[in-house]
Amino acid sequence: MSGVFEIRASAHFDAAHSLRDYEGPCARVHGHSFRVEAALTGSRLGTSQLLVDFHDLRRMLEEVIEPFDHRFLNEVPPFVEQSPTSENIARFIFESLAAMAPRLPDGVRLAWVSVSESQDTRVVYREET
């Protein structure tokens, strides 16, 4: 039997947004301290006995979210055209990290990305295999 490792790293950004096509207070401009987490999976450890260094995963995550920090998300691509919901933010971050796959060791894949607007809420995005 072979096992699978999953490593996770998180980062955060502070931003404001307003939800389009939404009736309620979140249609108005408001802000959050967004917490983003990403997970990688794989079964083979590298020569240093790590799947991927936590610092490397965190740097990739920070690179993707940097354009959002202290911004009005409705004015930042791709949210100029799509509503900056946590669901859309999670999918965008997942797709951006997936595009960085060549940086990852062979056999390591992006499992999921989560986005939290508060301690009580979280969206997880993963692609079906």
CATH number at residue 39: 3.30.479.10
- Look at residue 1 in the predicted model and tell me its pLDDT: 61
What mean pLDDT comes out for the span 72-97? 97
Instruction: Provide the domain limits for residue 21.
Output: 5-125
Beta-carbon count within 10 A of 81 CB: 8
pLDDT band at 9 (very low <50, low <70, confident <90, very high): very high
Kindly report the pTM of this predicted structure.
0.95
Kind and range of the H or E run holding 90: helix 86-98
Instruction: Look over the chain and give the mean of its residue pLDDT values, rounded to a whole number.
Output: 95
Between 117 and 47, the higher pLDDT residue: 117
**What are the pLDDT digits (tens) for 11-69?**
999 999 999 999 999 999 999 999 999 999 999 998 899 999 999 999 999 999 999 99
Dmax (CA) of the chain: 53
Q: Is 117 a catalytic residue?
A: yes
User: How far is it, in rounded angstroms, from Cα 5 to Cα 114?
Assistant: 18
- Look at residue 47 in the predicted model and tell me its pLDDT: 87
Percent of the chain with pLDDT over 70: 99
Q: Is 26 a catalytic residue?
A: yes
The encoded tokens of residue 68 equal 């959002």
Catalytic pick among 17, 32, 37, 117? 117
What mean pLDDT comes out for the span 91-100? 97
- Look at residue 2 in the predicted model and tell me its pLDDT: 80
Q: Is 62 a catalytic residue?
A: no
Catalytic pick among 26, 66, 75, 87? 26
Catalytic pick among 23, 70, 81, 128? 70
- Domain count of the fold of the chain: 1
| DSSP bridge partners of 41 | 6, 109
The encoded tokens of residue 59 equal 């740097």
